[in-house]
Amino acid sequence: MRLLVGDIGGTKTALGVAETDGESVTLVEPRRYPSAAFESFDQIVRRYCAETGLICRFAAFAVAGPVQDRCCAATNLPWILEADVLEESFGFAGVELLNDLAAVAWGVPALGPDDLAELHPGDGSDRGNACVVSAGTGLGEAGLYWDGFRHHPFATEGGHTDFAPADDLEFALLSHLKTRFGRVSWERVVSGMGIANLYDFLLTRHGGQTPDWLRKVIDEGGDTPAAVAQAAAEGRCPICVETMELFLRLYGREAGNMALQQMALGGVFLAGGIALKNLPALRRGGFLEGFFDKGRMGALMRRMPVRVILQPHTPLMGAARFMASQ
């Protein structure tokens, strides 16, 4: 089966053409576009088709948001996608929409050993339920139900559940964020926006100011989370280091929450750009400390393998496998 596949996120939109037999996937002409530079998803599709000259009869698009009745209002973009409208606009014989983390979950079985980095081996089994947690522009989560023979991916909106503080610092963080947002979800602290929120909180708590050199980097690049993470990795900014330590501990806690809810003995997979770009920091211990910190369930948590997905096109691969299954 040959089809156009897409991964539509708040920061970037990726498109490509996939060939799949329902299991393996070959991807050609993958390209990325800054989502905010376009008024609609249609514009990106037309740009891609004009640049590549590729035409497909079928398409499957992964969207960061809940998909219902073949429609999706993107969570972090002012776009509404409708499969029927896309079929009519581009002459597709069939279009399917799926949640972006469900697409990652569909892509997991197509990954090879070189597409994964192990953070914790667990008990070495890939049998049992699994889950995917992805901190990026937002926080996405999906599950993979194990029926005894194979995994069945399903979408969740678990990243929007209530943030639960565990110590005095985190209660102060919750109070700080409630003043700004009212309700505080896990996405407010475990995501790109979460890194910026944590940095702002710690800066206020310590009565500090952003160093001039860091302010210049942020102003020039427009990406506070990336600037803070880089400054922390270089050890140039104590508050940035503290920000990333807190972020990684919270990321581990929420990944552990999802793993515990799904009884993910088949594996916990971390997706998204933050994990990919901060792999050395993930390996240093704060993430796994937060992941294992589940009281009486600590021994169970240690049985669960934890891996980082290195393959950036996993959502596109998953969208292709999902379409082939329909």
Distance in angstroms (rounded) separating the CA atoms of residues 319 and 103 = 5
Which is nearest to 136 in space by CA: 277, 281, 273? 273
Residue 28 backbone class (left: φ over 0; alpha: ψ -120 to 50; beta: rest): beta
Q: Which residues are annotated as a binding site for ATP?
A: 6-11
Distance CA 51, CA 45 (A): 10
SS3 per-residue string spanning the chain? CEEEEEEECCCEEEEEEEEECCCCEEEEEEEEEEHHHCCCHHHHHHHHHHHHCCCCCEEEEEECCCEECCEEECCCCCCEEEHHHHHHHHCCCEEEEEEHHHHHHHHHHHCCHHHEEEEECCCCCCCCCEEEEEECCCEEEEEEEECCCCEEEEECCHHHCECCCCCHHHHHHHHHHHHHHCCCEHHHCCCHHHHHHHHHHHHHHHCCCCCHHHHHHHHHHCCHHHHHHHHHHHCCCHHHHHHHHHHHHHHHHHHHHHHHHHCCCCCEEEECHHHHHCHHHHHCCHHHHHHHCCHHHHHHHHCCCEEEECCCCHHHHHHHHHHHHC
**Binding site as annotated, residues:** 6-11
Q: Which two tokens stand for residue 213?
A: 């050199």
